[in-house]
């Protein structure tokens, strides 16, 4: 909510967001420089009572943009920067040891880079799949991780976005239906070897969505349910794998794990409020 109020203050009216609008609200100055170490994303310091951000010019545009809004978040939320004024790339992109302050700034930054007013509208126009996430990331000039996380969060259909690092599930973003139906997966768990993400990390070629048993990802109570579709991308530099998981139709998901009920003698299925048609999401 703080991020959305800040977006309104900045008068954001188009995407990709002009970050100068955010810097203007807090009266901060941002400079892209080339004299920072490769592993240093940026620095923030006070000069003459003004916040000054120094961003690594050798990094990609989407990384520079994330660094800027992450530091803006520290200033707006008045949260101490635990990287001692120096923003290291591992501290921004590693999920193994992120303190709470940094996670909160990530959430703020993701909302600022991918404002829900625009992003939800764009997601609703696209089919399910990683190609949609990649297209949105390019449109909003944001990372695949931030885009994928919010893609799942605003989805109408049941899906989840998973980030695994060093073979361990570190972060999961669920759609509303996934949360409502109690469909969870635990962080800290081992990356399933037979999943698309596990196979990619092992060096195998995985082309397009892969059908996997729901029990690979979900808790033991879900084993034997309908299959999941999974599409993954490998980020080798950080030893990270990103996965998008979804059920092809909401009705398949909702009914696959329903409690057993007595058969209707007339053969009419009990209404559950979910229509099996039409699904706007197509299997790729």
Q: Each residue's pLDDT tens digit in the chain (284 positions)?
A: 999 999 999 999 999 999 999 999 999 999 999 888 877 887 888 999 999 999 988 888 998 999 999 999 999 999 876 544 455 555 555 555 567 888 898 899 999 999 999 999 999 999 999 999 999 999 999 999 999 999 999 999 899 999 999 999 999 999 998 888 888 788 889 999 999 999 999 999 998 899 998 888 987 544 445 678 999 999 998 899 999 999 876 555 554 443 333 333 333 343 444 444 344 444 44
CATH 3.30.450 placement within the chain: 120-256
CATH 1.10.10 placement within the chain: 2-113
Q: How far apart are CA 140 and CA 142, in angstroms?
A: 5
Q: How far is CA 108 from CA 9, 123, 152, in A?
A: 14, 20, 17
Q: How far apart are CA 111 and CA 116, in angstroms?
A: 7
CATH class as words, domain 120-256: alpha beta
Classified by CATH at the fold level, domain 2-113 comes out as Arc Repressor Mutant, subunit A (1.10.10)
Q: How far apart are CA 70 and CA 30, in angstroms?
A: 13
pTM: 0.79
């Amino acid at each position: 909510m703080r991020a959305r109020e800040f977006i309104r203050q900045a008068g954001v009216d188009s995407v990709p967001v002009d970050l100068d609008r955010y810097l203007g609200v807090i009266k901060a100055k941002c400079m892209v420089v080339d004299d920072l170490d490769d592993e240093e994303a940026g620095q923030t310091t006070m000069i003459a009572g003004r916040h000054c951000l120094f961003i690594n010019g050798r990094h990609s545009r989407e990384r520079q943009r994330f660094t800027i809004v992450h530091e803006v978040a520290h200033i707006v939320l008045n949260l101490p920067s635990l990287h001692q004024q120096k923003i290291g790339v591992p501290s921004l992109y590693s999920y193994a040891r992120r303190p709470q302050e940094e996670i909160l700034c990530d959430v703020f930054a993701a909302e600022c880079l991918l404002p829900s007013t625009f992003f939800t509208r764009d997601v609703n126009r696209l089919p399910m799949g990683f190609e949609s996430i990649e297209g949105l990331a390019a449109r909003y000039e944001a990372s695949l991780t931030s885009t994928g996380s919010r893609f799942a969060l605003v989805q109408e259909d049941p899906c989840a976005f998973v980030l695994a690092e060093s073979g361990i599930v570190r972060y999961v973003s669920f759609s509303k239906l996934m949360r409502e139906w109690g469909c969870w997966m635990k962080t800290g768990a081992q990356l399933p070897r037979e999943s698309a993400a596990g196979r990619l990390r092992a060096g195998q070629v995985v082309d397009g969505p892969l059908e996997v048993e729901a029990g690979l990802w979900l808790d033991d109570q879900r084993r034997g349910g309908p299959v999941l579709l999974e599409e993954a991308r490998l980020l080798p530099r950080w030893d990270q794998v990103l996965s998008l998981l979804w059920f092809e139709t909401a009705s398949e998901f909702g009914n696959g794990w329903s409690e057993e009920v007595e058969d209707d003698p007339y053969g009419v299925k009990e209404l559950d409020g979910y229509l099996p048609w039409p699904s706007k999401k197509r299997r790729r």
